[in-house]
Amino acid sequence: MSPRSEHHKNNLAYSGRERVLENARLSALYSLGILDTEPEHRVQRLADRAARAFRTPMAAIGFVDRDRVWLKAAVGVPVSEVPRGISFCTHTVHVGSLLVVPDASMDARFATHPLVTGDPHIRFYAGAPLRAASGHCVGALCVLDTVPRTLEAFDRQYLEQMAGFVSDELMVRRFVHETC
């Protein structure tokens, strides 16, 4: 089995309790009605703002579905979705808090990732979880770079705050769609 498929298999293997939690998380995601929707200017602006604020060539707002991570908005990211088992965002959702990877090529979790070993040669990743009203982590706001970097405490807090803005936008979006 290749490292990619082994990694994918390990990420999606759940115990009974983990399966219940994952099903609840997926229910929260699906209740947002966000997957596979058309681009939205308000959401794209938040991805643009993240890339500018952190001076990164890439930023994304991604949602962790059952088998994939789907990007609702992105800046400089060459794909619209990736398999869940090799996704950076999956790790952010799993830990449920800010995840910073200073150099992905030196991190065993990501060193063989196709977007690390190939174009665009991601080195730096920082992702903050996006939460549904239920509190479940449904995705991540992330910034990425092609050079190794770190984030200072202020920047970490700001990325988490920006993820909160995205989560708020999801709630407003859901409310508007339910009342129309």
Q: Residue 126: its pLDDT value, please? A: 98
pLDDT for residue 10: 39
Which residues constitute the domain of residue 52? 3-179
**In what order do the strands lie in the sheet containing 99-101?**
81-83, 68-75, 58-64, 137-145, 124-131, 99-101
Q: Return mean pLDDT, the chain.
A: 89
Give DSSP secondary structure letters for 11-80. Answer: HT---HHHHHHHHHHHHHHHHTT-TTPPP-HHHHHHHHHHHHHHT-SEEEEEEE-SSEEEEEEEES-S-S
Structural domain total, the chain: 1
CB 104 within 8 A of CB 116: yes
Instruction: Tell me the per-residue pLDDT of 68-123, one tens digit each, with 9 for 90 and over.
Output: 999 999 999 988 999 998 899 999 999 999 999 999 999 999 999 999 999 999 99
pLDDT of 51 above 90:
yes
CB atoms within 10 A of CB 174: 16
pLDDT, position 15:
75
Q: Residue 169 maps to which CATH number? A: 3.30.450.40
Question: Which of 63, 30, 31 has its CA nearest to residue 47?
Answer: 63
Percentage of the chain exceeding pLDDT 90: 77
Check the CA dihedral 32-173-85-141 and report its sign.
negative
Read off the pLDDT of residues 133-162 as tens digits, 9 standing for 90 and up. Answer: 999 999 999 999 999 999 999 999 999 999
Banded model confidence at residue 180, pLDDT cuts 50, 70, 90: low
